[in-house]
Amino acid sequence: MLPSRLLTAFAAAGLLAAVGCSDATAPNVPQASTPGTPLAPQIISISGSIHVTGLGLSQVVLATSDGLEIPLAGYRTLMLARVNDAGVEVRGFWNTDGMFEVTEFVVEIVNGAPVLDGVLIAVYDTETSTETSTILGYALQLTRGDTVELKEPPAELLAYVGERVWIAGPTDGPPTAFGVISE
């Protein structure tokens, strides 16, 4: 064999070996062309103060203790706008617009004082019929759990039975302040 042909044969053998030893492998089975099921968004909690800006796409923002102003989205922002400057904890997820989509929230502080957040309910002497029952008192069905009996609620508050409210004051005495979250 001539030296030039030997050199060509070695070059061809080297090229075939390099192609054959590639890390990439062709798939044996074609991949499905249908998309997978989208993942549910991860729900997170963030605490801060509510501020109604009246500017831009998001008129309600959550100001955090580290100086961030997070634009809020979702239908619950209508209720959050009613508690401007209140301390809240919001739960939700980041949407595709870069805004925080609120799935639930609880009002924790109003005017620097801790508050209870829940639905004002009447407590009756029977569980079956409210038409023939006597009202024994009033309570707050908390947004995240228990029911708290209200002692001597003011008449102005009783106009909001069935509504979500926040209430400030001692648990063993009458409320000192309240506000309506939903009507």
Strand, coil or helix: what is 117? strand
The CB-side HSE value for 158 (13 A sphere, CA atoms) comes to: 12
Domain with CATH 2.40.50.430 in the chain: 44-110
Q: What architecture (CATH level 2) is domain 44-110?
A: Beta Barrel (2.40)
pLDDT (tens digit per residue) in 120-136? 999 988 766 556 778 89
Tens-place pLDDT, residues 76-120: 999 999 999 999 999 999 999 899 999 999 999 999 999 999 999
| pLDDT score recorded for residue 145 | 87
